[in-house]
Amino acid sequence: MSNPPAKGYRALRDGRFSQPGGTYFITFCTHDRAPDLAAAPLARLIIAELDALRADEIWTLHCGTIMSDHVHLLIELGPLLPLGKAVARLKAKTSPLLRADGLKWQPGYFDHRLRPNENLLPYFIYTYLNPYRANLLPAEEKWPWFIGASQDRDWFLPMLNDCLPEPAWLTHLP
Protein backbone atom coordinates (compact mmCIF):
# COMPACT_ATOMS: atom_id res chain seq x y z
CA MET A 1 0.00 0.00 0.00
CA SER A 2 1.45 3.38 -0.94
CA ASN A 3 1.68 6.32 1.42
CA PRO A 4 -0.87 9.09 0.87
CA PRO A 5 0.55 12.34 -0.50
CA ALA A 6 1.77 14.84 2.07
CA LYS A 7 -0.51 17.70 2.98
CA GLY A 8 0.04 21.17 4.40
CA TYR A 9 3.50 22.59 5.04
CA ARG A 10 5.09 19.15 4.85
CA ALA A 11 4.00 18.92 1.20
CA LEU A 12 5.88 22.14 0.48
CA ARG A 13 9.09 20.60 1.82
CA ASP A 14 8.81 17.31 -0.12
CA GLY A 15 11.26 17.40 -2.98
CA ARG A 16 12.70 20.75 -1.89
CA PHE A 17 16.23 21.20 -3.14
CA SER A 18 18.46 24.02 -1.98
CA GLN A 19 21.12 24.85 -4.57
CA PRO A 20 23.80 27.47 -3.93
CA GLY A 21 23.75 29.85 -6.88
CA GLY A 22 20.15 28.90 -7.66
CA THR A 23 17.57 31.62 -8.18
CA TYR A 24 14.41 31.28 -6.11
CA PHE A 25 11.08 33.06 -5.96
CA ILE A 26 9.92 32.78 -2.36
CA THR A 27 6.81 33.86 -0.50
CA PHE A 28 6.07 33.78 3.21
CA CYS A 29 3.09 35.12 5.13
CA THR A 30 2.04 36.39 8.49
CA HIS A 31 0.08 33.97 10.68
CA ASP A 32 -3.58 33.91 9.61
CA ARG A 33 -2.59 36.49 6.96
CA ALA A 34 -2.81 39.23 9.61
CA PRO A 35 -2.23 42.67 8.04
CA ASP A 36 0.11 45.56 8.97
CA LEU A 37 3.38 44.03 7.78
CA ALA A 38 3.79 46.96 5.37
CA ALA A 39 3.67 49.50 8.21
CA ALA A 40 6.84 51.58 8.01
CA PRO A 41 8.70 50.29 11.10
CA LEU A 42 8.11 46.63 10.22
CA ALA A 43 8.87 47.06 6.52
CA ARG A 44 12.09 48.90 7.33
CA LEU A 45 13.14 46.13 9.71
CA ILE A 46 12.54 43.49 7.05
CA ILE A 47 14.54 45.52 4.52
CA ALA A 48 17.39 45.93 7.03
CA GLU A 49 17.52 42.16 7.56
CA LEU A 50 17.39 41.54 3.80
CA ASP A 51 20.41 43.86 3.52
CA ALA A 52 22.15 41.94 6.33
CA LEU A 53 21.55 38.65 4.52
CA ARG A 54 23.11 40.17 1.40
CA ALA A 55 26.07 41.59 3.37
CA ASP A 56 26.64 38.17 4.98
CA GLU A 57 26.56 36.57 1.50
CA ILE A 58 23.59 34.39 2.42
CA TRP A 59 21.79 35.50 -0.73
CA THR A 60 21.59 38.21 -3.33
CA LEU A 61 18.23 39.92 -3.54
CA HIS A 62 17.07 40.65 -7.08
CA CYS A 63 13.74 42.18 -6.06
CA GLY A 64 11.02 41.94 -3.46
CA THR A 65 7.78 43.42 -2.27
CA ILE A 66 6.60 43.70 1.29
CA MET A 67 2.83 43.43 1.31
CA SER A 68 0.46 43.92 4.23
CA ASP A 69 0.35 40.20 5.04
CA HIS A 70 3.14 38.55 3.03
CA VAL A 71 6.53 39.05 1.40
CA HIS A 72 7.66 38.10 -2.11
CA LEU A 73 11.38 37.81 -2.83
CA LEU A 74 13.41 36.87 -5.88
CA ILE A 75 16.84 35.84 -4.63
CA GLU A 76 19.99 34.07 -5.69
CA LEU A 77 21.09 31.74 -2.92
CA GLY A 78 24.66 32.05 -1.66
CA PRO A 79 26.90 29.17 -0.54
CA LEU A 80 26.67 29.62 3.23
CA LEU A 81 23.15 28.52 4.20
CA PRO A 82 20.50 26.34 2.60
CA LEU A 83 17.33 28.17 1.58
CA GLY A 84 15.30 26.96 4.57
CA LYS A 85 17.90 28.21 7.05
CA ALA A 86 18.18 31.55 5.22
CA VAL A 87 14.41 32.10 5.43
CA ALA A 88 14.45 30.93 9.06
CA ARG A 89 17.15 33.50 9.85
CA LEU A 90 15.11 36.29 8.24
CA LYS A 91 12.01 35.29 10.18
CA ALA A 92 13.90 34.89 13.47
CA LYS A 93 15.58 38.29 13.21
CA THR A 94 12.31 40.05 12.38
CA SER A 95 10.02 38.16 14.77
CA PRO A 96 10.57 40.28 17.91
CA LEU A 97 9.32 43.48 16.28
CA LEU A 98 6.44 41.60 14.66
CA ARG A 99 5.43 40.22 18.07
CA ALA A 100 5.51 43.75 19.50
CA ASP A 101 2.85 44.62 16.90
CA GLY A 102 0.81 41.47 17.60
CA LEU A 103 2.02 39.65 14.48
CA LYS A 104 3.97 36.49 13.87
CA TRP A 105 5.16 34.59 10.84
CA GLN A 106 3.19 31.67 9.50
CA PRO A 107 5.24 28.46 9.57
CA GLY A 108 6.93 27.49 6.33
CA TYR A 109 7.24 29.31 3.04
CA PHE A 110 6.63 28.74 -0.66
CA ASP A 111 9.55 28.54 -3.04
CA HIS A 112 10.02 28.07 -6.75
CA ARG A 113 13.50 27.45 -8.12
CA LEU A 114 13.95 29.06 -11.51
CA ARG A 115 15.60 27.17 -14.31
CA PRO A 116 19.07 28.31 -15.33
CA ASN A 117 18.79 31.24 -17.73
CA GLU A 118 15.05 31.62 -17.03
CA ASN A 119 13.87 35.16 -17.74
CA LEU A 120 13.58 37.19 -14.53
CA LEU A 121 11.29 39.83 -16.03
CA PRO A 122 7.98 38.01 -15.35
CA TYR A 123 8.97 37.65 -11.69
CA PHE A 124 9.89 41.33 -11.46
CA ILE A 125 6.58 42.35 -13.02
CA TYR A 126 4.57 40.00 -10.79
CA THR A 127 6.38 41.22 -7.67
CA TYR A 128 6.10 44.86 -8.65
CA LEU A 129 2.39 44.63 -9.54
CA ASN A 130 1.36 42.66 -6.47
CA PRO A 131 0.24 45.70 -4.40
CA TYR A 132 -1.73 47.03 -7.36
CA ARG A 133 -3.31 43.62 -7.92
CA ALA A 134 -4.35 43.63 -4.24
CA ASN A 135 -5.86 47.13 -4.64
CA LEU A 136 -3.64 48.51 -1.90
CA LEU A 137 -3.07 51.73 -3.85
CA PRO A 138 -4.16 53.45 -7.04
CA ALA A 139 -2.09 53.17 -10.22
CA GLU A 140 -0.96 56.80 -9.81
CA GLU A 141 0.91 56.03 -6.59
CA LYS A 142 4.22 54.27 -6.05
CA TRP A 143 4.37 51.33 -3.62
CA PRO A 144 7.12 52.21 -1.12
CA TRP A 145 8.12 48.64 -0.28
CA PHE A 146 9.26 47.38 -3.67
CA ILE A 147 12.97 46.72 -3.22
CA GLY A 148 15.83 45.41 -5.28
CA ALA A 149 19.51 45.36 -5.99
CA SER A 150 20.76 48.44 -7.79
CA GLN A 151 21.92 46.51 -10.87
CA ASP A 152 18.46 44.94 -11.21
CA ARG A 153 16.64 48.21 -10.58
CA ASP A 154 18.82 49.80 -13.29
CA TRP A 155 17.36 47.58 -16.00
CA PHE A 156 13.85 47.18 -14.58
CA LEU A 157 12.85 50.70 -13.50
CA PRO A 158 13.32 52.23 -16.98
CA MET A 159 10.53 49.90 -18.15
CA LEU A 160 8.16 51.70 -15.81
CA ASN A 161 6.31 54.94 -16.38
CA ASP A 162 8.18 57.30 -13.99
CA CYS A 163 8.42 54.46 -11.41
CA LEU A 164 4.72 53.71 -11.84
CA PRO A 165 3.25 50.64 -13.52
CA GLU A 166 2.72 50.71 -17.24
CA PRO A 167 -1.01 51.14 -17.94
CA ALA A 168 -0.92 48.12 -20.25
CA TRP A 169 0.32 45.94 -17.38
CA LEU A 170 -2.62 46.99 -15.23
CA THR A 171 -5.24 46.06 -17.84
CA HIS A 172 -4.48 42.36 -17.39
CA LEU A 173 -4.69 42.22 -13.60
CA PRO A 174 -7.17 39.70 -12.15
pLDDT at 11 over 60: no
Residue 171 is predicted with a pLDDT of: 79
pLDDT at position 144 is: 95
pTM, two decimal places: 0.88
Domains detected in the chain: 19-170 (3.30.70.1290)
Q: Which secondary structure element, helix H or strand E, spans residue 73, and what is its range? A: strand 70-77
* Rounded-to-10 torsion of CA 112, 93, 50, 28: 30
